[in-house]
Amino acid sequence: MRKKKHEEHVNHEAWAIPYADLMTLLLAFFVVMYAVSVVNEGKFRVMSESMTEAFNGGSQVIASPSPDKRAAPAAWPSLLQPTSTFDAPLAPLRAPLPLRRTAAPPAARDSERPSTLKRIEGQVRQALQPLIDKQLVVLRRTPDRLEIEIRTDILFPSGVARLSPSAGQVLSQLASILAPFANPLRVEGFTDDVPISTPLYPSNWELSAARAASVARLFAGHGVRPDRLGILGWGDVRPLASNATAAGRNQNRRVLVVVENDQPASSRTRSAVAKVGAALAGTASALPAMHVSAPDNTVLPEQIR
């Protein structure tokens, strides 16, 4: 007798396996996306304040964010919580930062004392005020240097680099003010465009450099250290006014004493670093606070210190 052939039944539920895998992957994807979107305001603030403190050398006490200021957990993550144990709120972690020292930051100490350039300007203005009123001496100060501009009418006769008798009193007063300080000095000479051609001064460059050297030599003879001094002759290439008039040529004939800042550049940039740290702290305070509640035995990334 012939055996009956067994019929195989097609399994119509094979789709459930890849579908379950797909749902698991989607669930894992949304969990990872939510985890990377969480912003820890407290850790960001601690980082910004620590960077500011490291640059400035000061000390600050950084308080942990208050629990009542934290935003409530978002509504959509609750769909991923299978049990009610995830409803327990997280207890705030309070980890005080150690104090390094109580001294004031160097930037604050630098700002408390008056700058050297400001002190020199005040003393020069007090000593040469009559000449400043007659516009024979002009003072200009920037954060990096102080410029003392002196008309050559009171320093040199026409066409020579030998100091006049009236120049001795003015320059000796200026030298006595500059001698106690350590600021580098540069003496620059300028002339008008009237050409000069003598065996001693073939051009205005030689004349302007010789006049600057005469002023620097007088400073050195009145107590200013020679290693602080430098000279520079510009000739007629940098006029302040038009050389077409006698008044303009008179204004262009001048000697410029440049007093440079004695502070290193690093100390002058501490305030800029402090402003960057303050901007970072302000950015951290503007970010939204997002927190995920979990069971007591679950460690979340924001709990790791």
All structural domains of the chain: 16-106+269-303 (no CATH), 116-262 (3.30.1330.60)
Mean pLDDT of 4-23: 75
For position 89, what pLDDT does the model report? 52
Asked which of 64-73, 117-126, 215-224 is least confident by mean pLDDT, the reply is 64-73
The per-residue pLDDT for range 172-190, each reduced to its tens digit, is: 999 999 999 999 999 999 9
Query: Could you give the C-alpha distances from 218 to 110, 179, 229, 256, in angstroms and in order?
Result: 33, 12, 11, 14
Query: Could you give the C-alpha distances from 217 to 5, 105, 133, 230, 270, in angstroms and in order?
Result: 124, 41, 27, 10, 37
pTM for the model? 0.52
The per-residue pLDDT for range 29-45, each reduced to its tens digit, is: 888 888 777 667 777 77
Whether 222 shows a pLDDT value over 70: the answer reads yes
For position 45, what pLDDT does the model report? 78
Which of 78-82, 196-200, 283-287 tops mean pLDDT?
196-200
Whether 79 shows a pLDDT value over 50: the answer reads no
C-alpha angle 103/107/112, rounded to 5°?
85
For position 72, what pLDDT does the model report? 47
Asked which of 201-210, 236-245, 268-277 is least confident by mean pLDDT, the reply is 268-277
For position 180, what pLDDT does the model report? 94
Given a contact cutoff of 8 angstroms between Cβ atoms, the answer to whether 221 and 143 are in contact is no
For position 274, what pLDDT does the model report? 54
Distance, CA of 211 to CA of 151 (rounded, Å) = 12
Q: How confident is the model at residue 133 (pLDDT cuts 50, 70, 90)?
A: very high
Of 152, 141, 172, the closest CA to residue 234 belongs to: 152
b or e along 47-83 (b: 16 or more beta carbons within 10 Å of the residue's beta carbon)? ebbeebbebbebeeeeeebeeeebeebeeeeeeeeee
Whether 304 shows a pLDDT value over 50: the answer reads no
CA atoms 246, 248, 251, 252: torsion sign: negative
One-letter amino acid at 173 equals: Q
One-letter amino acid at 276 equals: V
DSSP letters along 31-81, please? HHHHHHH---HHHHHHHHHHHHHHHH----PPPPPPGGGSPPPPSGGGGG-
Distance, CA of 48 to CA of 236 (rounded, Å) = 53
Q: How confident is the model at residue 237 (pLDDT cuts 50, 70, 90)?
A: very high
Q: Is 109 exposed, middle or buried (0-12, 13-18, 19+ CB in 10 A)?
A: exposed
Helices (H), 92-203: 106-112, 116-127, 129-133, 165-178
Mean pLDDT of 138-163: 90
